[in-house]
């Protein structure tokens, strides 16, 4: 099979490529990525020389480039990870989120229709469901939970999901959608909570916690997400949405304290800063459907996953220090300078 993976130079896409090349060496993987600030070509170095791997730099919104690639590769499956993915950036500048996350999805699906692709998989997020109150721990997101978005990021992802389902119903495009909770692990861009706190801790810099740090996220080790998508591609039902999450809810402040402890740094580094606008309180996935239909369960416990992740950042300083020394610095100054 030939599988086009978009956004494969980013965090989850790269981990997915490594997972697929290890578990399905018979398949050919073609990575299509624009290499935005979040895409990192060096991440893909371990697979670059492989015969069954190809990298193509292109924008998923570029109809001509996308169609030319489909014409050449005649893919069986397309998995779309390509997106603008950071909530704080979407609050600063929503435009590019709408373009990439919605129009890019449309462009890819049009190509899938034109070339009769057997499966289009949309990598979505639990953020399309909005948030849950902190005082109702009995509530979880199921696939039936209404879409109710908070940020321009989540609104753009929800719009794309609606479009994907519309292409299925209207044109019969064979689609699946997965909605996963927060991922963590190797190659996570250091603007996101866990890698940012690890990097700042190591530099003895302040650890900027939004609001009171009481917001809850449901963390999943990235490899468990990759395995879930692989299962959906092979055994998932067309036209269906699958939630992915491992019942691992944690408050932000507890994550930050844990990182301090693991790295032997004082909690006095923690600095409470102005809250994110429209900040979602709690995300919590009910993964019953993917468990009962596809037998998926997470394999990595948070205690192990976070240690592995911290060890990876210690062993791969060059990867993230290069990012931190580049244009990302301007973003950091803008985001945290006067907060």
| Enzyme catalytic residues | 126-127, 153
Instruction: Find the shortest distance in angstroms from Cβ 135 to ligand TYD.
Output: 17
Restricted to residues 103-132, the positions that interact with ligand NAD (CB under 6 A) are 104, 123, 125
Q: Give Cα 104 distance to the centre of its chain.
A: 16
**Would you say 200 or 243 has its CB closer to ligand NAD?**
243
Tokens of 50: 């492989």
Q: How many CB atoms lie within 10 A of CB 336?
A: 17
Partner touching 210 among ligand NAD, ligand TYD, none, CB below 5 to 8 Å by kind = ligand TYD
Q: State residue 37 phi and psi, 5-degree precision.
A: -55, -30
Residue the block writes with tokens 């899938």 = 112
**Would you say 61 or 269 has its CB closer to ligand NAD?**
61
Instruction: Find the shortest distance in angstroms from Cβ 210 to ligand TYD.
Output: 4
Among 209, 231, 258, 284, interactor with ligand TYD by CB under 6 A: 209
Interface stretch with ligand NAD, choices 28-36, 203-211, 250-258, 290-298 (CB under 6 A): 28-36
Restricted to residues 219-278, the positions that interact with ligand TYD (CB under 6 A) are 252, 276
Restricted to residues 278-337, the positions that interact with ligand NAD (CB under 6 A) are none
Partner touching 87 among ligand NAD, ligand TYD, none, CB below 5 to 8 Å by kind = ligand TYD
CB 131 within 8 A of CB 144: no
Distance of CA 132 to CAs 63, 90, 217, 218, 277, Å? 38, 21, 11, 12, 16
CB 280 within 8 A of CB 150: yes
Instruction: Find the shortest distance in angstroms from Cβ 292 to ligand TYD.
Output: 27
Among 3, 4, 5, 11, interactor with ligand NAD by CB under 6 A: 11
Instruction: Find the shortest distance in angstroms from Cβ 200 to ligand TYD.
Output: 9
SS3 145: coil
Among 40, 43, 145, 215, interactor with ligand TYD by CB under 6 A: 215
Instruction: Find the shortest distance in angstroms from Cβ 18 to ligand TYD.
Output: 21
**Residue 192 is inside which H or E element, if any?**
none
Partner touching 44 among ligand NAD, ligand TYD, none, CB below 5 to 8 Å by kind = none
SS3 330: helix
SS3 250: strand
SS3 180: strand
Partner touching 193 among ligand NAD, ligand TYD, none, CB below 5 to 8 Å by kind = ligand TYD
b/e code 161-177 from CB counts within 10 Å (16+ = b): bebbbebbeeeebbbbb
DSSP β-ladder status, 249-251 and 216-218: antiparallel
Instruction: Find the shortest distance in angstroms from Cβ 129 to ligand TYD.
Output: 13
Short-list 213, 208, 197, 313, CA closest to 259: 197
* Binding residues for ligand NAD (CB under 6 A): 6-7, 9-13, 33-36, 38-39, 59-61, 81-85, 100, 104, 123, 125, 157, 180, 182-183, 189
* Binding residues for ligand TYD (CB under 6 A): 87, 182, 192-193, 196, 208-210, 215, 217, 252, 276
């Amino acid at each position: 099979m030939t599988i086009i993976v978009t956004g494969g130079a980013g965090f989850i896409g790269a981990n997915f490529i490594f997972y697929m090349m290890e578990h399905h060496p018979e398949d050919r993987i073609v990575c299509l990525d624009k290499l935005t600030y979040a895409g990192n070509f060096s991440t893909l170095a371990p697979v670059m020389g492989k015969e069954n791997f190809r990298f193509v730099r292109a924008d998923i919104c570029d109809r001509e480039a996308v169609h030319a690639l489909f014409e050449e590769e005649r893919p069986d499956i397309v998995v779309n990870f390509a997106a603008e993915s950071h909530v704080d950036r979407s609050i600063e500048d929503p435009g590019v989120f709408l373009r990439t996350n919605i129009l890019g999805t449309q462009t890819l699906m049009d190509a899938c229709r034109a070339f009769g692709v057997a499966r289009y998989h949309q990598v979505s997020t639990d953020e399309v469901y909005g948030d849950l109150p902190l005082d109702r721990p009995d509530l979880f997101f199921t696939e039936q939970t209404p879409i109710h978005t908070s940020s321009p990021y989540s609104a753009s992802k929800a719009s794309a999901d609606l479009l994907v389902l519309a292409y299925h119903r209207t044109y019969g495009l064979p689609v699946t959608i997965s909605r996963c909770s927060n991922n963590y692990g190797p190659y996570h861009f250091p603007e996101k909570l866990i890698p940012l706190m690890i990097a700042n801790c190591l530099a003895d810099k302040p650890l900027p916690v939004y609001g009171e740090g009481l917001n809850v996220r449901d963390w999943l080790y990235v490899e468990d997400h990759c395995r879930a998508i692989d299962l959906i591609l092979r055994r998932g039902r067309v036209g269906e949405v699958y939630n992915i999450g491992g019942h691992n809810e944690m408050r932000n402040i507890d994550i930050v304290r844990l990182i301090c402890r693991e790295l032997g740094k004082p909690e006095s580094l923690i600095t409470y800063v102005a809250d994110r606008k429209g900040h979602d309180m709690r995300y919590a996935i009910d993964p019953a459907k993917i468990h009962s239909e596809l037998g998926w369960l997470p394999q990595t416990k948070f205690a192990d996953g976070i240690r592995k992740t911290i060890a990876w950042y210690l062993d791969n300083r060059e990867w993230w220090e290069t990012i931190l020394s580049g244009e990302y610095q301007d973003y950091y100054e803008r985001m945290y300078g006067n907060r």
